[in-house]
Structure 1
């Protein structure tokens, strides 16, 4: 009898534990108040700028063709956890996001949650996009709806089975995901705050120009200081004054438009795509990013 009671107690404890884990790992969408600020009547022209600032085409354009506005996805993104595939974000109603509302896109960008209520993997840089305003998501959706539908669903992610349980992404979010808009710093001027908003939000600069720990979170001590990429095939440059100290704000802003560095070099790899997109922004936005980047604290470049 005592053994039976013990078994029942163990089963009940196990069920309670499972229920607790299920509860704490539930995806958190926008609150009702936040969702109320999201409508389906965005400004497509402004959304075009959000699209450029967010470097969306670099990941979501279909590989193997030249049109950066054919957003069929499929780009392979290698990581220590396996290979992720960028999704189709075209207006195709079957394979893309043609059936999404602006609210769906806002939840994806600002909370890392899909329309079906699943966590997105943070290879999608929502830890930075969460700092954007909801209006940015609304305008971006308006612009995406003007682009051509692209049929075809990219291959599935090829990742370690341990990481296929999306519910467990919630534990990663507990450690590294800090949702919410970047509040303006009243001690700084309008240009600096605009630059910070772009770099920390849509531009997601720290997502590449930082080193990561074994769980894939950014190491705070290396933020913007560069380091080896997660799979060890390249090296992201340090963009703090430790590396760019002799660049002027004007030279940095010019590089963001032309890709040419002050010493007459040229940026390459994924940064070349970033420059292609940033060149579409107003000059004032590139200047603002330069002002913010030049104000970063100097940090040493981490070793391999």
Structure 2
């Protein structure tokens, strides 16, 4: 009887392991989808670069001016799951110099590395999955023109079980989707453009939306504010709910994204200073579109506990 019980346990463990391995396999993008992309346009790629905030994480810590275009990596993101170190994504052998467009697109939209491993979602591919493939192609072309760096970024500092990359495959099944977060009835062209920028390349929800215990976004409280992903403090509510930006006009929002100044004569601080540096490079119509979207979304009370 005992031997049968042990055999059943062993068989159950084997079946469970096989199921885990199958369900967590890295899934790449359909090559036919990528083949439809035209050769990248550098001007459009530069716009995508700023909209996506690439320099904020991948430039060397403290970089300013043109140094922000040297994407050497090395920035440490300290989170409850461990410390993630941003990689070099400059066009060098230590970065993405040897990556084909297909490698880059799979990293951006599927969170899969060229050697077939899962990337951790500290890299916001859950938002980039909503991007148009052509924007990915344009960004890829632009990144290839930036200064190369031979910096070797350090490894992530993660404990068990977060150091088991394969498990990210199960997490992706829950939280990786190319579908829009919101369905907005009768949306104008400006709102649609703003939705694309906010939910896709801008990845605003990655910081401004509360997360659950395993790091998934609570989309029922989209952009309601959250605990800061790094360290103490909170990321503000940017909906029209109580504690949010209900008293900001669309013009106020657009101007704040360009200048960093709020309508109550304050200035945006923390990580938003980097965001403003990025957003200031966008076409004014894109900042206005982001503002139109934020004024159109459902209002929520603050998504973080009261101090």
Same fold (TM over 0.5): yes
| Secondary structure in 1 matching 2:186 | coil
| Secondary structure in 1 matching 2:232 | coil
Query: 1:257 offset after TM fit, Å?
Result: 0.5
State how far apart, in whole Å, the 1-side matches of 2:286 and 2:293 are: 11
Does the aligned pair in 1 maintain the 2:180–2:199 contact within 8 Å?
no
Query: 1:241 offset after TM fit, Å?
Result: 0.8
Does the aligned pair in 2 maintain the 1:212–1:230 contact within 8 Å?
no
Specify the alignment match of 1:255 in structure 2: 256
**Cα deviation code 1:238-264 (max 9, x no counterpart):** 111122111111111111111111111
Does the aligned pair in 1 maintain the 2:78–2:231 contact within 8 Å?
no
Give unpaired runs (5+ residues) of structure 1: none
| Secondary structure in 2 matching 1:230 | coil
Specify the alignment match of 2:78 in structure 1: 78
State how far apart, in whole Å, the 1-side matches of 2:189 and 2:63 are: 40
Does the aligned pair in 2 maintain the 1:38–1:102 contact within 8 Å?
no
Specify the alignment match of 2:47 in structure 1: 49
Specify the alignment match of 1:225 in structure 2: 224
State how far apart, in whole Å, the 2-side matches of 1:187 and 1:303 are: 31
Specify the alignment match of 1:140 in structure 2: 139
Question: Are positions 1:204 and 2:228 aligned together?
Answer: no
State how far apart, in whole Å, the 1-side matches of 2:183 and 2:41 are: 23
| Secondary structure in 2 matching 1:83 | strand
State how far apart, in whole Å, the 2-side matches of 1:62 and 1:118 are: 25
Taking a change above 3 Å as real, the CA distance of residues 252 and 181 of structure 1, as seen in their structure-2 partners, is closer
Give the TM-score, by structure 1 length. Answer: 0.93
Query: 1:303 offset after TM fit, Å?
Result: 3.7
Specify the alignment match of 1:273 in structure 2: 274
Query: 1:42 offset after TM fit, Å?
Result: 0.7
State how far apart, in whole Å, the 2-side matches of 1:32 and 1:22 are: 23
Specify the alignment match of 1:167 in structure 2: 166
Q: Bigger CA drift: 52-61 or 164-173? A: 164-173
Query: 1:8 offset after TM fit, Å?
Result: 5.8
**Cα deviation code 1:146-168 (max 9, x no counterpart):** 00110121110001131111110
State how far apart, in whole Å, the 2-side matches of 1:102 and 1:46 are: 16
Query: 1:302 offset after TM fit, Å?
Result: 2.7
Query: 1:105 offset after TM fit, Å?
Result: 1.1
Taking a change above 3 Å as real, the CA distance of residues 17 and 278 of structure 1, as seen in their structure-2 partners, is same
Specify the alignment match of 1:37 in structure 2: 36
**Cα deviation code 1:201-226 (max 9, x no counterpart):** 00011111111111111122322110
Specify the alignment match of 1:18 in structure 2: 17
Query: 1:173 offset after TM fit, Å?
Result: 1.1
Question: Are positions 1:150 and 2:184 aligned together?
Answer: no
State how far apart, in whole Å, the 2-side matches of 1:152 and 1:83 are: 19
Question: Are positions 1:301 and 2:299 aligned together?
Answer: no
Taking a change above 3 Å as real, the CA distance of residues 14 and 288 of structure 1, as seen in their structure-2 partners, is same
Q: Bigger CA drift: 178-187 or 103-112? A: 178-187
State how far apart, in whole Å, the 2-side matches of 1:113 and 1:211 are: 25
Give the TM-score, by structure 2 length. Answer: 0.92
